[in-house]
Chains A and B, each alone.
Chain A
Amino acid sequence: DAGITQSPRHKVTETGTPVTLRCHQTENHRYMYWYRQDPGHGLRLIHYSYGVKDTDKGEVSDGYSVSRSKTEDFLLTLESATSSQTSVYFCAIKGNMNTEAFFGQGTRLTVV
């Protein structure tokens, strides 16, 4: 398996609280991604990074921010969690353009 770890794997939080999810890789891959997966919507790109401190928005970036201060870590922050952000979040890494991406095991986030 690719060296990619998501933490935490499960989290329950209250509406209005900040939440940070972490994606850690040991592959020294350039690209890192955050997706959310909801029934009927497949995988939707939230934000992605193409290098340290280089990030860009995806399809559903509102309410989310990211940071990548070093190659191995990509953090996803919900500044003020809402119930609509209840979802399964996946991180992915990719070495170069036009190569396959590898996924983490996912983080199940519940906002109550």
Chain B
Amino acid sequence: GESVGLHLPTLSVQEGDNSIINCAYSNSASDYFIWYKQESGKGPQFIIDIRSNMDKRQGQRVTVLLNKTVKHLSLQIAATQPGDSAVYFCADDNQGGKLIFGQGTELSVKP
């Protein structure tokens, strides 16, 4: 069946460094991917998305890269700040509107 997984459950970075969070997916028919950020005690919040006809998309301090050949996507956060500390999820919105999440990576930013 379909699944979305992450390579690392935790990531610790120094404030000001760049962070890279990785995600793998299994459904080759998936055509839309989203990254969410979840702070403690809150629901997930949208960060950035990418469609399968793109390889890269940039937002404010965030970039998502999509490699369809190896079914892998990554979230890059530039100049990581303490406020970026949270759990990050990739999600696969495959055909039919079924939205499947990965397990999440907990990002910890050290001052």
What separation, in Å, do the CA atoms of A25 and B43 have in the docked complex? Answer: 15
Chain A residue total in the interface (Cβ 8 A): 27
Chain A residues lying within 8 Å of B103, measured Cβ to Cβ, are 40-42
Chain A interface, DSSP helix/strand/loop, else mixed:
strand
What separation, in Å, do the CA atoms of A56 and B46 have in the docked complex? Answer: 24
Determine whether A92 belongs to the interface, using a CB cutoff of 8 Å to chain B. Answer: yes
Determine whether B34 belongs to the interface, using a CB cutoff of 8 Å to chain A. Answer: yes
Chain A residues lying within 8 Å of B32, measured Cβ to Cβ, are 97-98
Chain B residues lying within 8 Å of A33, measured Cβ to Cβ, are 99
What separation, in Å, do the CA atoms of A72 and B46 have in the docked complex? Answer: 21
What separation, in Å, do the CA atoms of A43 and B101 have in the docked complex? Answer: 6
Chain B residues lying within 8 Å of A52, measured Cβ to Cβ, are none
Residue with the greatest number of chain A CB neighbours at <10 A, chosen from B43, B91, B102: B43
Determine whether B89 belongs to the interface, using a CB cutoff of 8 Å to chain A. Answer: yes
Contact A35 B101 (CB under 8 A): yes
B59-111 interface with A by 8 A CB criterion = 89, 91, 93, 95-104
The 8 Å CB contact of B100, one of A45, A56, A94, A102, is: A45
B98 nearest in chain A by CB position: A48
Contact B51 A98 (CB under 8 A): yes
B10 shortest CB reach to chain A, Å: 12
- Given A48-B98, A48-B99, decide whether A43 and B46 contact each other with a Cβ distance below 8 A: no
